[in-house]
Amino acid sequence: QGFKDNLHAVFCLAENAVGPRATRPDDIHVLYSGKTVEINNTDAEGRLILADGVAYACQDLGADIILDMATLTGAQGIATGKYHAAVLTNNEEWEKACVKAGRNCGDLVHPLVYCPELHFSEFTSAVADMKNSVADRDNTPSSCAGLFIASHIGFDWPGVWVHIDIAAPVHAGERATGYGVALLLSLFGGASEDPLLNLVSPLGCNGDCPPEEMERDSKRRRLV
């Protein structure tokens, strides 16, 4: 789509197959960030590789905007429903932008509570930096799952971090919906040379920006 900025796509993929090296309860892993994780739920495996992915984007790619998107929690469908994905971010402007981008393109998004000072304690471990699953599943588990990922770049990281949980809207019955493609194009459309994407993007200059403002808005961001 003719992106003018430095855009990377990191695919956090793993085969969830049982074998002699499979993760077991009470294992302790050292993740890419260097933090240790006590396994108290072997079904919460996706967040482990997502945590490695965002740490890689931060440390190796030097990104200043990191967006992770995954079918992470069944609780997302309870929190925001079948049609709205859930967004969790450390930046209020980007939270609003995700909601607006979703309305512009049809991939709807609704915010989750972002409050690490109250919720990250759900992962407290006596033997590691954190556990991989919450102690209380009644305490906003979708928000907590996102916080687990964010903790591997650090809650004091100065960049923009956005987490989008798409567990429910990616399927309708037995069929995939393709959710997420339009959302990403709309959200980052301001960094594209495509006039239509510029128009629907809620960030940066849209098609009605004066040329002199476009000249001033020349900062290049590295996007993930």
Residue-wise pLDDT for 180-212, tens only, equals 999 999 999 999 999 999 999 998 644 444 444
Element (H, E) at 164: strand 160-165
Domain count, the chain: 1
The fraction of the chain above a pLDDT of 90, given in percent, is 81
Q: Which domain holds residue 32?
A: 28-200
7 part of a folded domain: no
6 part of a folded domain: no
206 part of a folded domain: no
- Tokens 């309708």 -> residue: 172
Q: Which of 155, 143, 187, 151 is nearest to 90 (CA)?
A: 155
Q: Where are the alpha helices (DSSP H) in 115-219?
A: 116-119, 141-150, 181-187, 195-200, 211-216
48 part of a folded domain: yes
98 part of a folded domain: yes
Radius of gyration, CA atoms only, the chain: 18
In contact, 34 and 151? CB cutoff 8 Å: no
pLDDT at residue 112 in the model: 98
182 part of a folded domain: yes
CA–CA separation, 193 and 1 (whole Å):
7
- Tokens 């969790």 -> residue: 88
223 part of a folded domain: no
Helices (H) and strands (E) in the chain, counts: 8, 11
In contact, 121 and 219? CB cutoff 8 Å: no
Kindly tell me the burial class for residue 57, based on how many C-beta atoms sit within 10 Å of its own C-beta (0-12, 13-18, 19 or more). Answer: buried
Q: What is the pLDDT along the chain (224 residues), one digit of tens a residue?
A: 888 889 999 999 987 778 888 889 999 999 999 999 999 999 999 999 999 999 999 999 999 999 999 999 999 999 999 999 999 999 999 999 999 999 999 999 999 999 999 999 999 999 999 999 999 999 999 999 999 999 999 999 999 999 999 999 999 999 999 999 999 999 999 999 999 999 999 986 444 444 444 444 444 445 55
- Tokens 């916080």 -> residue: 147
User: Domain of 183: which CATH number?
Assistant: 3.40.630.10
Residue-wise pLDDT for 147-156, tens only, equals 999 999 999 9
Mean pLDDT value across the chain: 91
CA–CA separation, 173 and 123 (whole Å):
33
Task: For residue 161, report the phi and psi dihedrals to the nearest 5 degrees.
Answer: -120, 130
Compute the half-sphere exposure of residue 136: CA atoms within 13 Å on the CB side of its CA: 8
Count other Cβ atoms within 10 Å, centred on residue 141.
22
Q: Which of 132, 140, 119, 188 is nearest to 160 (CA)?
A: 188
Amino acid at 176: A
pLDDT at residue 5 in the model: 85
In contact, 187 and 112? CB cutoff 8 Å: no
72 part of a folded domain: yes
pTM of this structure: 0.89
pLDDT at residue 223 in the model: 54
